[in-house]
Amino acid sequence: MSKPDSDLHDPGTTTREREHEIVDPPLGWEGKTLKEQFDESQQLLEETGHYRGLDELELKDSDPFKYEQMYSRLRGALVSARETALHVSASPIVREIGELCFQIYTPEGDSVAVSTGIIVHVHTGSLAIKYMIEEDYEHDRGIQPGDVFCNNDNDLGNVHTTDVHTFVPIFYEDELVAWADGVTHEIDIGGMTRGHDQVASTNRHEDGLYATCEKIGEDDKLYQDWRDRGQRGVRTPMYWDLDEKCRLAGCHMIREAIHEMIDEVGAETFKQFLYEAVEEGREIMESRVKERLFPGTYRETGFHPIQWEDKAWQPGSQQNMMNHLPIEMTIDGDGGMQLDMEGATPPGPHPFNCAKGSMEGALWVYLTQSILHDGKVNDGAHMAVDTNYPEGTVVNPQDPELSYHTPWLTIFPTYLAVSRALSGGFFARGFREEVVTGYGEPSDAIQGGGKLMDSVAEAIPDALGDYFPVGPFDFSCQGLGASACRDGLNYGYAMFNPEADLGDVEEWEQTQWGLLQLSRRVKPNTAGHGKYRGGAGWEGLHTIMGSEDASLYALSIPTVTWSGAGMSGGYPGGTSYSVRAHGTDLAERSVADEPYPLDDQPVGSFEENIEADEVIRDHDGMFFPEEFENHDLLRYQTSGGPGWGDPLERSRDLVVEDIENGIFTPDIVAEVYGVVGEYDTENREFTIDAEATTERRAEIREERAERTQSFDEFFEEERARVEESEWDDGVQYMYEGVFETSDEWAEGFREFWNLDAEYTP
Amino acid sequence: MSTENQTEHDPRLLALDTGGTMTDSFIVDEEANYTVGKAQTTPEDESVGVKQSFDNGLGYWDTSFAESAASLDGVVYAGTAMLNRLLEREGTGDIGVITTAGFEDHHRMGRGIASWADLSYAGRLHAREHEHPEPLVPRENINGVRERVNMLGAPAISVYEDEIREAVHDLLDRDVRVICVCMIFSYANQAHEKRVQEIAEEIKDERDDDTPVWLSSEQNPVRGETPRLNTLILEAYAVEPSREQLFGIEDTLRDQGLNSPFRVLTSSGGTIAPDHDWLAETMLSGPIGGVFGGEFLADKLGIDNMVCSDVGGTSFDVALITEGHYPTRWDQTLAQIPTNIPMTALDSIGSGTGSYLRVDRASDRIEVGPDSAGYLVGVANENADVTTPTVTDCTALLGYINPDFFLGGDIPIDVEAAREAIDDQLASNLGEDPVETARGVLDIVERDMANELRSMVHGLGYAPENYNLISYGGGGPLHAAGYTKPLEFKDILVPDWAAAFSAFGTACADSAYRYDQSVDIILQPDFSNAGRGDDRCLPQTPREGCGCLPTRRYRPGGDGVSAGDSRTVHRDARRPGGASRGVLGRRTHCHGHRGSRREVRGGVWPRLPACGPLAGERLPVHRRNRRGCRALAEADTPRRGPGVDGDTARAGPQERATDLLGGRVARRRHLGYGPHRRGERRRGTGGDRGPGDDDAGSARVGGVTGPQPHLPPDAPGPMSRQTTEPRDDRSDHTHQ
């Protein structure tokens, strides 16, 4: 086999003379090994409650301006590395949407500062560095100036397989003073199917290329064998290569900046600064919690239904499952926060298993957007929160055999629950405007790929190959949840990256050559209802043209039911659904100027404008990779955010606006809000029938009164169902799993429902 | 304020910077002496403030505008009126839009980024703060027409003409002022937009209607359908109404005797006449004037690389001139709205002399800005009611500014008030002395500025050692030493007219019309085709056989695109003596690197070497009359390449049907995974991928097998389906 036909390989990588001097261990400070330094750090934190035992910030106190200048210089170096390095990449995911991030760590692997971007990695790189220290790379594998390491093994410190980290140790004289880490999100990682967030994988061997805290270069050059492995191991070698160069270039810029800083302030001051910055991060987090959240215990649960009995490929996955993602958040009066996930489902035969580091990273993303946006984001903040992601569960499996390709689908429902818990804390403190009932979970992520027909490939001058990946990041614009005083943001929120961007169609189609977008429209009735409604999602339609061998799939959530709820009487946003048409007459229609579908609004109308051999309409938006021929159609939608408060209390004027803006349709408004009137669709003018509205609202209240029952009655009815395990097989899967894993949770459940000690679901 | 004590002056050039509060003017005479005038801006009728400002400046030379008007070579206008119109949502509505069907919501969706675009770093992180701006065009005024052009510029779905008719009639019935047309990939092929225009013209004739129809592919054929549409909408919303203001100023000045050109500064660095087709480029012109001043000085002093740094009251702005040129950006937002207006690259941080200072009590840390006292200066300003200390209060306390001569003595400075505010609100919280605190604040502010400089210079791959730096703006000279200290620039320049440098820069701008065109090429690893962006200018004629719907429209051999394409014509290149310079320069902006599909924006623009708009005849450009309709003023070279205009045959349905996407190809499975026997049902991690798991029921090519993805019609589960011809039956192989 020959190498891929590309000049990207540089045969001269490892033959020149070394530029960096070899340093003998110990590499830590004051003659310690890294392991000793790490252990000491752990011990000091445990004993004193302060990072490195720093109960005072000497540098900050004695020279606050110098201290702030250093922090600003460090942050500046990271942001500047990111801004520069993203120009090296070619993938629109990195270049346009900014899915990359740089961090700086202490020698023992605690993050000090982070750039903008996918800040979820503030903590994940930390775990990988700690793994290398604990495994004594210092003496065994060797850590030298100019070395380059790579990790995307989720179990050791990553979010999901397609996030790839490059680490560069930074030395000053004979000591390792810091680590630089760059992460990019790859468009393909060589997994069992195309796509960057797989749905079909069930174990590690199907996830794709893994680098397990691996040394991939020395003396600032990547090993040739590593580069070959990477480029041959993925479907998109050009993007892989340029993304890797992007990460490495950024890390080297950071190293240079740190050398300059140390030259300026001296090594001792720099070291002191690193430690104080982490401790300050811890203190700021405590102070924010104290200031903004009301003390108490907040309990919420996220659910993730996986309705796969008739859908999954592998036998072990062909079942209906539901993941239980409970959280108990305790806020004490001194700024302490505990997050406990006791009762989480065990890991499963799906790619949604989530390593502890991923959960911790996601916690930081969420806290940064809600409570820490004006603070210092680093591992100090992490140390201020006491987390329990129980071992052996889907949120901390401790099992490298599993598939970790798409932990986001565990993360999203969990942090929906966290968002409601935090909102409870804000609300109780009186910060109504800080309440966020949740968010539309970032899906549908349409993924896959295809090959161009020869005639089209030839028409693209200078193309590199004819394979095109499909992975638009337009799913980064969902609806945000309502607050307790206003509506949620429409089509503009991504939980994983607060700087959401749909991207232009003209941008995405530069890479996904054979996939043509036919529509991107606001989708009515996706927003969660409420006195303040959630933000709306949108609906899209794709077709395939000029391609062969195209396969597509959608990673969708919420699936067949909601992952969370609204607050104070608000509804959750709509669930997703999928419509695909195979063997269509799109071509014939388009030459005869016959209409083709642009959406499925009203729901069910899609088929009116297309003839097809087969139309698949699925209540679950998620589907496995499926072959698409030219002119086949794929309709998908993003989700809306949950609402806050009783919809009957929503101002009539706002309801009118909702109809006129296409956020809700008049039939739904009459049903939920009790607002009745005439809608002139042409001019988008809704006129309220005041009398009918008053009547309808009274009617709804009456209906509610009829449905109302006493709590005791309700409890008894539900208890009987629990006793008989009268529920869907997905729910059965969930309770069985939790009972097997957590005696503590099972005991609490029995106690709550007043069940026998022997009860099992 | 003026130079020299010369008694006789012969003013030649007047430049204006019309801000929200003050109208500054910069006036140069034959001997390069200058004087600066100031007057209150008069938003109702800007010409009043303009004339007063000129008279104020010229008053120092004992003359007035009326007395000198006849001898002027030109007047250049820069201002923020259009931007303010947009910020305050006081533009003119009644705009109609026709776009690709399915994408009618793009304007209000603002690509998502509109909701956070103008926020501070903390605000961007804080999702709760994000909010979409109110759309400029109501949804009912946006009509979709079915069509699609693909990334090669080939029509993948031909445009539905009946839908065009319906859309145009509907918008005319709604009595819109203008119809803006923007379709996906129209920058690569404008045929569909053109067709909309042709049909609209027919309908307008029928209805005796003169509503103008504007095409995004004519205004700014640059990649990115959302910003392209928005830019066209801005033209109608905020720019076109401002045209009246500009005509008003021009008329006032002409009444006073001006007979030389009246020009408007653009954000990309040239000046254009107010009756030019498109004025969107003049939306944001004030703040970048300094860059052109920097460019002019760099040229005069023989400096190749220069960093321009401007310390204003509210922000610190940085721009880079490298080898005599400054980069241009296309992805800026204006009042949160994403646009593709070419703008001189300028980075800003919210750190200026008026920035407020506070101590964050959670971290005991000084916070600078991002809000600012602006022209109110600070607590020390006896004439303003500012209570929060600012950066200027610190410089006042440190004795860096003369309290009796601030802004020439216009604003009396109370140093004690500054000391008190700094002590109360900052120093005491930090346990520091107020003077030390003030110095510390300046260190932080100047360090932030240095970071910004470092990030801009390094961010483009350059090093400060290769650059000179020029510092201007009201606070430039005061802070230059501080913010340049950590960086090794070659030299630091501070012009003695630093405070009026932006207005001076406006006077330096060349007379230039700029046309941009995105050309997508894939750069090869060895850059062998890097220069071919020139050849690819205007890929208006897609290649034959690119697999999309009708290809008949474009005949073989119709490549018709060459480096000298007529579309890159420029029409404004005159020197004082009247000699036409023709094409003075040709620029192709090529952003890209190995192996990536990148965009080349070919801008060709004529440039004049010296100070800006100069005497001479009116230039042959498309002009807008005052109703906004375009009229060909003088002989004009067609802007577009051959083969796409109205005379190109539109293939009939029959012909088109024969060219449908290349028939069916041999089916191959590339789904990449083989089915497995049903085994353990619960919580296993799946089987392994053994060859024995293959089955005869699935097609197999090249050793890769895949299950048929579709369920049989009678399969249980949540799907509802309509199947006329099931492709396969997976049960065949899942139950083996």
B546: closest chain A residue by CA: A456
> Residues A87-98: what's their mean pLDDT?
78
Between the CA atoms of A579, A584, A586 and A588, what dihedral angle is there, to the nearest 10 degrees?
-160
Q: Does B533 touch chain A (CB under 8 A)?
A: no
> Residues B516-530: what's their mean pLDDT?
73
Measured between CA atoms, how close is B533 to chain A, in angstroms?
12
pLDDT above 70: residue B713: no
Q: Does B690 touch chain A (CB under 8 A)?
A: no
Question: What's the pLDDT at B715?
Answer: 30
A119: closest chain B residue by CA: B125
Question: What's the pLDDT at A84?
Answer: 80
Measured between CA atoms, how close is B549 to chain A, in angstroms?
8
Question: What's the pLDDT at A73?
Answer: 82
SS3 B157: strand
Measured between CA atoms, how close is A136 to chain B, in angstroms?
31
Output the six-digit token pair for A642.
């949950």
Distances A722 to A344, A750, A759 between C-alpha atoms, Å: 19, 10, 10
Distance CA B612, CA B270 (A): 8
What does pLDDT average to over chain B?
71
> Residues A279-284: what's their mean pLDDT?
93
Is the Cβ pair A64, B440 closer than 8 Å? yes
Between B460 and A309, name the one with better pLDDT.
A309
> Residues A307-317: what's their mean pLDDT?
94
Measured between CA atoms, how close is B626 to chain A, in angstroms?
30
Convert the pLDDT of each residue in A588-597 to its tens digit.
999 999 999 9
Which residues of chain B are within 8 Å of residue A193 when distances are taken between CB atoms?
A: 671-673
Convert the pLDDT of each residue in A686-735 to its tens digit.
999 999 999 999 999 999 999 999 999 999 999 999 999 999 999 999 99
> Residues B22-41: what's their mean pLDDT?
81
Question: What's the pLDDT at A96?
Answer: 72
Q: Does B680 touch chain A (CB under 8 A)?
A: yes
Q: With bands split at pLDDT 50, 70 and 90, how would you rate the model's confidence at A16?
A: low
Distance CA A464, CA A511 (A): 11
Is the Cβ pair A614, B723 closer than 8 Å? yes
Report whether the peptide linkage leading into residue A11 is cis, meaning its omega lies within 30 degrees of zero: no
pLDDT above 80: residue A117: no
Is the Cβ pair B661, A545 closer than 8 Å? yes
Beta bridge partners of B306: B321, B468
> Residues B559-570: what's their mean pLDDT?
25
Q: What are phi and psi of A430, to 5 degrees?
A: 100, 5
Convert the pLDDT of each residue in B74-112 to its tens digit.
899 988 778 878 888 888 899 999 999 999 999 999 999
Distances B342 to A424, B124, B283, B590 between C-alpha atoms, Å: 46, 24, 11, 14
Instruction: Provide the number of CB pairs (under 8 Å) joining chain A to chain B.
Output: 412
> Residues A516-544: what's their mean pLDDT?
97
Convert the pLDDT of each residue in B160-196 to its tens digit.
999 999 999 999 999 999 999 999 999 999 999 999 9
Distances B364 to A113, A707, B18 between C-alpha atoms, Å: 18, 55, 40
B708: closest chain A residue by CA: A626
Convert the pLDDT of each residue in B486-520 to its tens digit.
888 999 999 888 877 888 888 888 888 888 888 88
Residues in Cβ contact with A458 at an 8 Å cutoff, skipping those fewer than 6 apart:
B545
* Residue in B441, B529, B671 nearest the CB of A193: B671
* Residue in A307, A313, A373 nearest the CB of B718: A307
Q: Does B294 touch chain A (CB under 8 A)?
A: no
Quick check: A650 and A674 in contact, CB under 8 A?
no
Give Dmax (Cα) for chain B: 105
Q: Does B444 touch chain A (CB under 8 A)?
A: yes
Beta bridge partners of B599: B520, B591
By percentage, how much of chain B surpasses pLDDT 70? 69
Distance CA A78, CA A115 (A): 5
Is the Cβ pair B132, A242 closer than 8 Å? no
Convert the pLDDT of each residue in B109-135 to its tens digit.
999 999 998 787 778 889 999 999 999
Q: With bands split at pLDDT 50, 70 and 90, how would you rate the model's confidence at B234?
A: very high
Return the DSSP state at A726.
Answer: -
Between B705 and A368, name the one with better pLDDT.
A368
User: ipTM of the assembly?
Assistant: 0.93
Q: Does B527 touch chain A (CB under 8 A)?
A: no
Q: With bands split at pLDDT 50, 70 and 90, how would you rate the model's confidence at B457?
A: confident
* Residue in B102, B365, B458 nearest the CB of A518: B102
When mean pLDDT is compared across A8-17, A263-272, B667-676, the lowest value belongs to: B667-676
Is the Cβ pair B716, A316 closer than 8 Å? no
Distance CA A194, CA A188 (A): 7
Mutate which: A252, A506, A623, A683, vs B, most B CBs within 10 A: A506
Question: What's the pLDDT at B646?
Answer: 29
> Residues A441-462: what's their mean pLDDT?
82
Question: What's the pLDDT at B690?
Answer: 30
Measured between CA atoms, how close is B282 to chain A, in angstroms?
25
Which residues of chain A are within 8 Å of residue B721 when distances are taken between CB atoms?
A: 614-617
> Residues A541-565: what's their mean pLDDT?
92
Which residues of chain A are within 8 Å of residue B151 when distances are taken between CB atoms?
A: 506, 509-510, 513
Residues in Cβ contact with A274 at an 8 Å cutoff, skipping those fewer than 6 apart:
A106, A112, A177, A178
Closest alpha carbon to A126 in A180, A190, A60, A205 = A180
Question: What's the pLDDT at B529?
Answer: 66
Task: Give burial (CB, 10 Å; 0-12/13-18/19+) of A714.
Answer: exposed
Measured between CA atoms, how close is A319 to chain B, in angstroms?
7
Mutate which: A260, A401, A504, vs B, most B CBs within 10 A: A504
Convert the pLDDT of each residue in A226-240 to its tens digit.
999 998 999 999 889
Question: What's the pLDDT at B130?
Answer: 95
Measured between CA atoms, how close is B426 to chain A, in angstroms?
12
Which residues of chain B are within 8 Å of residue A630 when distances are taken between CB atoms?
A: 661-662, 664
Is the Cβ pair B363, A318 closer than 8 Å? no
Which of A69-73, A316-320, B57-61 has the largest mean confidence? Answer: A316-320
SS3 B258: coil
pLDDT above 50: residue B360: yes
Q: For the stretch A111-121, what's the b/e string if a residue is b when 16 or more beta carbons lie within 10 angstroms of its beta carbon?
A: bbbbbbbbbbb
Mutate which: A114, A119, A239, A505, vs B, most B CBs within 10 A: A505
Question: What's the pLDDT at A415?
Answer: 97
Between B402 and A426, name the one with better pLDDT.
A426
When mean pLDDT is compared across A519-523, B302-306, B639-643, the lowest value belongs to: B639-643
Measured between CA atoms, how close is A72 to chain B, in angstroms?
7
Look at the pTM and tell me if it is higher than 0.95.
no
Q: Does B371 touch chain A (CB under 8 A)?
A: no
* Residue in B151, B524, B711 nearest the CB of A509: B151
pLDDT above 50: residue B736: no
Output the six-digit token pair for B77.
């206008």
What does pLDDT average to over chain A?
92
Q: Does B173 touch chain A (CB under 8 A)?
A: no
A72: closest chain B residue by CA: B448
Q: Does B432 touch chain A (CB under 8 A)?
A: yes
Which residues of chain A are within 8 Å of residue B101 when distances are taken between CB atoms?
A: 519, 598
pLDDT above 60: residue B596: no
pLDDT above 70: residue B673: no
Report the length, in residues, of chain B. 736
pLDDT above 80: residue B60: yes
pLDDT above 60: residue B649: no
Q: With bands split at pLDDT 50, 70 and 90, how would you rate the model's confidence at B569?
A: very low
Is the Cβ pair B722, A548 closer than 8 Å? no
Output the six-digit token pair for B151.
């990334």
Convert the pLDDT of each residue in A485-494 to its tens digit.
999 999 999 9
> Residues A138-164: what's their mean pLDDT?
94
pLDDT above 60: residue B709: no
**Could you tell me how far CA A503 lies from the centroid of its own chain?**
18
A450: closest chain B residue by CA: B670
Measured between CA atoms, how close is B414 to chain A, in angstroms?
26
SS3 A66: helix
> Residues A374-398: what's their mean pLDDT?
91
Question: What's the pLDDT at A461?
Answer: 62
Convert the pLDDT of each residue in A29-76 to its tens digit.
999 999 999 999 999 999 999 999 999 999 998 988 788 878 878 888
Q: With bands split at pLDDT 50, 70 and 90, how would you rate the model's confidence at B526?
A: low
Q: With bands split at pLDDT 50, 70 and 90, how would you rate the model's confidence at B409?
A: confident
SS3 A517: strand
Output the six-digit token pair for A588.
């014939």
Is the Cβ pair B461, A346 closer than 8 Å? no
pLDDT above 60: residue A7: no
pLDDT above 50: residue B286: yes
Question: What's the pLDDT at A651?
Answer: 96
Distance CA A636, CA A538 (A): 9
Measured between CA atoms, how close is B712 to chain A, in angstroms?
11
Convert the pLDDT of each residue in B335-357 to its tens digit.
889 999 888 888 878 788 888 99
Question: What's the pLDDT at A65?
Answer: 79
Q: What are phi and psi of B702, to 5 degrees?
A: 55, 30
pLDDT above 80: residue B686: no
pLDDT above 80: residue B587: no
pLDDT above 90: residue B322: no
> Residues B45-59: what's their mean pLDDT?
88
Closest alpha carbon to B139 in A66, A524, A332 = A524
Convert the pLDDT of each residue in A332-351 to its tens digit.
989 999 999 999 999 999 99
Q: Does B701 touch chain A (CB under 8 A)?
A: no
Between B555 and A754, name the one with better pLDDT.
A754
Question: What's the pLDDT at B590?
Answer: 28
Distance CA A706, CA A700 (A): 10
